Structure 1
Amino acid sequence: MTTAQIEAGTLTANRQDRIVSGLLLPYGEVGNTNLGKFTVAPGVVTIPADVTVLAANTDHSREHPVARFLTAVDTAAGLVASFVVGKNPEGDALLAEIESDSPTARRNLSVEVADTVIRKGQLLAGKLFGAAFVAKGAFPSASLMAADVGTLPTDPPPAAASGPVVTVEKTSEEFTDENGLTRIRETVTTTTIDGSTTTIDTTTTITDPTTEQDPAVPAATVPNTLAATTATTDRPLSLRDMAGLLFAANQGTLDDTGRKALQANNGASMFAALSDVKFDGTGGLAPTITQPQWIGEAWSALHYRQQVLPLFAHENLTSLTLNGFKWTTKPAGGDWLGNKGNVPSNTLVVAPVTGSADRYAIGHDIAREFVDFNVPGFFESYTAAVTEDYARWADGKVATKVLAGATALAGDALSTLPGATGGTIGSAASAIIDGATALVTAGTLPTFALVATALWKQMVKMPQSNVIGYLNAALGLEEGSLEGFIIRPSASIAAGKVLVGAREAVTVYELPGVPIRVDALDLARGGVDKAAFGYAGVVVNDAAGLQLVTAATV
């Protein structure tokens, strides 16, 4: 199959619609082609019924398509075509290049015609199969008249023994030499089959596209003759060479040397002629024809879990303001002698307790396209994120008010602890014991200890026998066990401190169902309003039940 690349006219571009168009194949003009000069008459080139399956590339690099045919219309002046440029970086670069002022920009079209038949400088047959965006003057052989190629159905079949069969193939490519200069390499391969002898002559011409040179003058000639008396070449055969050898094999005239060349080059030469079709990367088809896998929200290890709020009693909030009382002097009785004697009595004193709930809110005006086009998992993930944000906010509010209402306590010096091996069990464990002892003395059982992060690390790095042994001794209020007593690190606790407390010391009031989510339509701007609201109040019932211990140091 002989392929012709015929230069045509300049093109126009619609950047917004990414459509370029122009005269793809002029009629009645001497065209510059990779095969030489010839003219094309109307109706000679066959146009596929559906041109949208055809692709267009740059500089005839078919493995790098940048556009596809949109239309191909036969007019009196020639074949006019339009193309849709791909929505990718390569297509963007081509559109920008067309609009630029660069003299080397690819503003010209070049048609690709297969199965060409040329006779005496005229194209007699061919089939449209592609196009390329090129800069004018791409073919060094354009100054030569095209040699006769191809076969028409009306041509008589060649006589098998009338003489040698000669075929000519011309190729042209652009490359960069060792000095970084752009060069054009043209290769002319002549294959002659004469009986049992096959002769292949290859002529290579290298030219500089920026200067006017006669491309007919060869720069280097590499002969390659396959005959019964010559050795088989190691050079991979071209597709034309392979065709000649296969023809000789079919006619039964292939000699031993040709047979060896055919066997040695069968895989390499035939497959080397195929264009690469890449999956991804530059020129890959995957970004255009494949569907990516949707994974929704990527999992994050930073989901917040409340550390402080769950440690205390919890009640439902029914009002923004909180009013109550607590005993300053509680009822106190004692022994009674009877016999109508006076019963013990004391003066009762109460103090008012007041407070107010803190308010939380968050909102976003989200484009309704997220609803209309159903982005999977978006709103579910949004709701989870809002819930997490409220939980973090409420936990911070509780921590702030609990620390503000706690009783300050200085920890015992480590050296005075009785029974301490080596004089110390560590600052953290000592502070926990000091706080727990203060609660027990006041008649309240401790239920938790929040430890500053640095102190926590010091404690957990101690031998287990030391920590557990001392804490069991100090907190063994129910059969000598730590069960139910929570010890955890907390970033809310200042460095060097430990908060030891009881669950009943604080009550947290929250509106049921928080955060309360509200949806509304933003009709004026085509949006969906998403909002959430929450309320939380904190009451410190007994400051003695919260001991903020400053840990002793060595």
Structure 2
Amino acid sequence: MSHRLPDDDATTQVRHPSRAVVRSSVAATVGIVPLLWPLVNRELGPIWATVAVVSAVAGNAVITRLLAYPGVEAWLREMLPSLAASPPDRRDRLDLSAPLPTVMASDGGDVVMLDGGGAVHASDTDERIVSGLVIPWDKQGNTTAGPLTIPSGAVRVPADITRVKLMFKHTGTEGHKPVGRALSYEGRQDGLWMTFSIARTPDGDAATQQVAEHVFDAFSAELRKVKQDGTRVTDSILTAVALVDTPAFADARVHTLKAQYTPSTQENETVNVKAFIQSLMAAGASAETARAKAAEFYDAADIAAVDVTGFIAPTSPAPTSPAPTSPAPAAPVAANAGYTAPLAPVVPAGLPQHHSPAIVHASAFDAAQTILDLSRNRDQVVHAALADITNSGLTDALPPAWLGELWTGPAQTRELVTLLNTKPLRSWRMQGFRWKDRPLVAAYDGDKTEIPTNPVSIEPYESEATRWAGGHDLDRKFWDFGDAGILASYWAAMNESYAIVTDAAAGAFIVANAKVVAPIAPTDAPNVPPIVLAMYAAKNSVKKATGTNPSYYLANPADQLALLTLTASNKPAFWDQLGVDPSMLLWRDQVPAGTLIAGAKPATTFWELPGSPLRVEAEHLSHGGRDRAMFGYTGQTIDNPDGLVKIAFTPAP
């Protein structure tokens, strides 16, 4: 469709395109040169800087000239009004509240703009009619496109009003159905009013009942090709109206319902109230008893309308012995309208098949007789002959419930490594040195005498990183069927294992390299547990050698009971001055019983390759699987042997 701009609606840019190009180029030059030229000049030199500036200004001039074409301006007004030089001309949008007598054709061909204060009718007096306010003007509603306000003149309707269908629920939602068509529309001061004819179909009957019961008693319009300025609709086409329970606009409600509703009568039911009462009377019940029993199943008004005056119960014929002849074939039962024969029962695996020789339909008399017998003797319990269905027999029929990974407790993490000095490992081979005899400083007499000196020595240190690895060949079905839970659990288990083994290795290294120091005799403090005395001695040794208190203490779990001898009554008065805290103890199996290890954080360094543990995955096509493996590299050094000590103590008996 071509876009044309009327001559009397042209903007100054369209009327004077050259002037618009010059003005835009000057503005671009003033804004671009101070910013773009210095930047490009610094990187590429003055020539390329000049080229960049000229290209930017020329490109701006070309775009400005294109936007000044009347066709482009008209297209922008229609498709992107926010980029147009002026807002769209609304003179062809007719106000629904204006008292004009005609409808005008729009650019859409078969779509017209609603134009009058009077209604346009296309109705049949025999139709079932529903009418009301469809769209209120200038009121905000919560729509599928967000909050919108629809003013008068922003909605167009088809020239053939019957093309606007009445839907039960919105198009595209679950259970939506067309139930009618539009007959007329009217633009009033408060909004767009419409009248619809409801079809004489089962869906139409159901919709009529929903409106009559005030369940789905609201209108909600369906608009297409909606153009909006912010939250305000500027143009749209009405294609359908839906009956809903909650409308986008609170005032969009059904105001009038004119319909013929024919309720079902008792004669159309399987057992009507009169036949039910007479059947009970034929079974021996009195009229009062039959009416009382019928009240459990029927309305009181229907029961009161039944006249059983003069009813005589039929007598049952005397039973006779059947003749010893073969039974005649049963006559086929005529199927009632709307009746569907039952399907064969489905029997779970392992259960015997139960065959029923025929389908038996109880008559109204039989049903009434059964109800009457049960009401006379409520203590009697009737059981049908049913086949047993047991849990074991349904094993093959019940699907298993997927539980995922069973709970195994919180994942174990590193406990000791976090207390050590940690650094990144950059090579699998570690080399360094440490002082064996450190250089010392002493007092100096001066007067050009010899300055103090002492023998010094260093010792080299060299080791290789410890390698860690683990892997498995996993069946590719876990990927093909998207078992993400199993795959994620695999990596979680491998990460947990890596944390456990590396933390245990760090503990074993510390135990093997700790320096032995002398313990304190228990007789010096008989009321203090030996393990606490060992902590005090270790703290003093580390503090004296390194100037730092220990950051951790290690002991065997079997020595925990030694702390039970310390109570509030025998706790020393100056306990806090000792500088030890039993809560800092870590219980490790690597430590021998009766031994305490204390270490300062700077005394030991734990080295680890950044990113460890490393995950590796590769296809294993020949076995139909994928190989998954985890690798890690760690190392450990003793940076100051005096900062890691070991003390033996005698556990309490």
When the two structures are superposed, what TM-score results if normalisation uses the length of structure 1?
0.51
The alignment status of 1:382 with 2:524, answered yes or no, reads no
Q: Name the counterpart of 1:433.
A: 536
What are the superposed Cα offsets for residues 465-513 of structure 1, whole Å, 9 maximum, x if unpaired? Answer: 756866532227xxxxx59x83222222221111111111111110111
What are the superposed Cα offsets for residues 173-227 of structure 1, whole Å, 9 maximum, x if unpaired? Answer: xxxxxxxxxxxxxxxxxxxxxxxxxxxxxxxxxxxxxxxxxxxxxxxxxxxxxxx
2: CA distance, partners of 1:461 / 1:50: 85
| CA separation of 1:335 and 1:318: change in aligned 2, threshold 3 A | same
Q: Name the counterpart of 1:517.
A: 615
| Matching residue within 524, 527, 533 for 1:424 | 527
1: CA distance, partners of 2:465 / 2:325: 90
Aligned AA (1:425): V
Deviation (angstroms), 1:44 = 8.4
Q: Name the counterpart of 1:298.
A: 406
The alignment status of 1:463 with 2:574, answered yes or no, reads no
Q: Name the counterpart of 1:247.
A: 369
SS state at 1:346 partner: coil
Report matched runs for 1:400-411 at 5 Å: 400-411=508-519
Q: Name the counterpart of 1:365.
A: 473
What are the superposed Cα offsets for residues 8-33 of structure 1, whole Å, 9 maximum, x if unpaired? Answer: xxxxxxxxxxxxxxxxxxxxxxxxxx
SS state at 2:397 partner: helix
Aligned AA (2:641): A
Report matched runs for 1:252-263 at 5 Å: 262-263=375-376
2: CA distance, partners of 1:249 / 1:399: 83
Q: Name the counterpart of 1:264.
A: 377
What are the superposed Cα offsets for residues 211-254 of structure 1, whole Å, 9 maximum, x if unpaired? Answer: xxxxxxxxxxxxxxxxxxxxxxxxxxxxxxx986943888xxxx
| CA separation of 1:296 and 1:44: change in aligned 2, threshold 3 A | same
Deviation (angstroms), 1:541 = 1.7
| CA separation of 1:413 and 1:342: change in aligned 2, threshold 3 A | closer
| Matching residue within 358, 361, 364 for 1:114 | 358
| Matching residue within 585, 602, 619 for 1:504 | 602
2: CA distance, partners of 1:473 / 1:498: 20
SS state at 1:115 partner: coil
The alignment status of 1:54 with 2:345, answered yes or no, reads yes
1: CA distance, partners of 2:464 / 2:594: 31
The alignment status of 1:288 with 2:397, answered yes or no, reads yes
Asked whether the 8 Å contact 1:429–1:471 carries over to 2, the reply is no
Q: Name the counterpart of 1:534.
A: 632
1: CA distance, partners of 2:489 / 2:462: 38
SS state at 2:631 partner: strand
Q: Name the counterpart of 2:83.
A: none
Q: Name the counterpart of 2:456.
A: 348
Asked whether the 8 Å contact 1:450–1:487 carries over to 2, the reply is yes
Deviation (angstroms), 1:277 = 8.5
2: CA distance, partners of 1:528 / 1:392: 25
1: CA distance, partners of 2:544 / 2:408: 45
2: CA distance, partners of 1:495 / 1:112: 80
2: CA distance, partners of 1:281 / 1:552: 63
Asked whether the 8 Å contact 1:309–1:398 carries over to 2, the reply is yes
Aligned AA (2:561): K
What are the superposed Cα offsets for residues 47-100 of structure 1, whole Å, 9 maximum, x if unpaired? Answer: x99997533xxxxxxxxx33xxxxxxxxxxxxxxxxxxx3xxx48xxxxxxxxx
| CA separation of 1:532 and 1:38: change in aligned 2, threshold 3 A | farther
Question: Could you say what the CA RMSD is over the residues aligned between the two structures, in angstroms?
Answer: 4.1
Higher strand fraction (1 or 2)? 1
Deviation (angstroms), 1:410 = 4.5
1: CA distance, partners of 2:553 / 2:623: 52
Asked whether the 8 Å contact 1:357–1:535 carries over to 2, the reply is yes
SS state at 1:499 partner: strand
Structure 1 residue runs of 4 or more that deviate by more than 4 Å after TM superposition: 36-46, 48-53, 242-246, 274-278, 464-471
Q: Where does the alignment leave 5 or more consecutive residues of structure 2 unmatched?
A: 1-323
2: CA distance, partners of 1:113 / 1:376: 52
| Matching residue within 447, 450, 462 for 2:554 | 450
Asked whether the 8 Å contact 1:427–1:553 carries over to 2, the reply is yes
Asked whether the 8 Å contact 2:478–2:484 carries over to 1, the reply is no
| Matching residue within 490, 496, 507 for 1:399 | 507
Asked whether the 8 Å contact 1:327–1:351 carries over to 2, the reply is yes
SS state at 1:538 partner: strand
Deviation (angstroms), 1:309 = 1.7
2: CA distance, partners of 1:515 / 1:327: 33
2: CA distance, partners of 1:369 / 1:404: 46
Aligned AA (1:516): L
Report matched runs for 1:135-150 at 5 Å: none
Q: Name the counterpart of 1:323.
A: 431
2: CA distance, partners of 1:384 / 1:470: 47
By relative contact order (CA 8 Å, sep 6+), the higher-ranking structure is 1
| CA separation of 1:249 and 1:525: change in aligned 2, threshold 3 A | closer
Aligned AA (1:264): N
Q: Name the counterpart of 1:273.
A: 384
| Matching residue within 484, 490, 494 for 2:592 | 494
When the two structures are superposed, what TM-score results if normalisation uses the length of structure 2?
0.44
